[in-house]
Structure 1
Amino acid sequence: MSIIAAAPPLVRTTPPSDPAPLGTVTAGSWWPDIDLAKLRDAMRLDGTITPQRLLPAVQEAMANTIGLLSTWATEREAEGYASLAAVPALQIDSESINVQRFRRAVYSHAKANLLERYSDYDTTGRARKDDQEETREGQAEQHRRDATWSVRDILGTTRLTVELI
């Protein structure tokens, strides 16, 4: 008699006690720094996303988000605001909602970027590769939507998206 045991694939994770510093990504004094450890925790990125994979994804996410906000930011700088945090906005937990939305946009762009390249543990254990691809694409689109909404909230524009069928 033989037994075949099927188990989900093992995922290597970084233990919470791992003191490896990840650092921050900066884009000048006007924009908030992005703490890579906080991003990893907030977006549920385990140890399979190495720092060497994470850093370029976050750098591209910051560049993308700043690019979308560049005209708005230039206007705020011309008004005399020294940073995004200095622009008048609602404060939640003693932090500007604009800073929180900027962070969310960067986090979401980075997660979407990573999902397109590496399987997330949410997609492991699927029976068919097609299912994995559809799940990853769907998750990436949801993160891109969150990023777009965060940027639009900073800009003060609507979240409405219209798609012609």
Structure 2
Amino acid sequence: MFNGNELNYQSVEITNDSFWPDINLADFQKQRKIPIDLDSELLTDALLASIAEINLSLESLKNKYSANGYIAASEVPGAKANGQNALCAQYKKALYARAKADLIGEFNSVSSRAPNPKQENPETQRSLLAEAAFVIRNMKGLKRVTVASI
């Protein structure tokens, strides 16, 4: 509930590889409504683990863009808003969904507040992981679902 006090997000810069954008912990907290009382090291570790997973998933896409002369995701043409292109926005969306899914179990165990059933249930975690997977598939130019014959 809003009490008039300003929220103090934890600004920690996370340096990514040279292609994908750097990440700030405060942006993750704001965009994904992460409780501000969670330890910054815990949150940073979750983001680092998710960066490693997402970057590995997107290695072929990175190589494709690099082969076409783009040295950073921010240079790839596409829709832009507030100084960010669609590719970087999609990257952050997938990253933040994956990291939040990894943290769901921590929300109740680390925080001393009342549980939030909507945010902390297994269905929410599955939904966040599906969101990340859908975004990654879209970035790769794949449809949400594909069928292959065996």
Displacement, 1:140? 0.8
1:24-75 C-alpha deviation (Å, 9 max, x unpaired): 2122221101111010011111133210210100001111111110011112
Match of 2:6 in 1: 16
Q: What TM-score do you get using the length of structure 2 for normalisation?
A: 0.81
Larger-Rg structure: 1
| Secondary structure of the corresponding residue to residue 67 of structure 1 | helix
Match of 1:87 in 2: 76
Match of 1:116 in 2: 105
* Structure 1: 4+ residue segments shifted above 6 A: 120-123
Matched, 1:157 2:148: no
Q: What TM-score do you get using the length of structure 1 for normalisation?
A: 0.74
Q: How does 1:120-159 map to 2 (within 5 A)?
A: 124=115, 136-159=121-144
Q: Distance in 1 between matches of 2:72 and 2:66?
A: 8
Amino acid at match of 1:149: F
Amino acid at match of 2:19: W
Match of 2:29 in 1: 40
Q: Distance in 2 between matches of 1:161 and 1:43?
A: 29
- 8 Å contact 2:108–2:115 — kept in the other structure? yes
Match of 1:103 in 2: 92
The alignment-based identity, stated in percent, is: 21
Amino acid at match of 1:39: F
Q: Distance in 1 between matches of 2:81 and 2:140?
A: 18
1:115-137 C-alpha deviation (Å, 9 max, x unpaired): 134428898166xxxxx9xx521
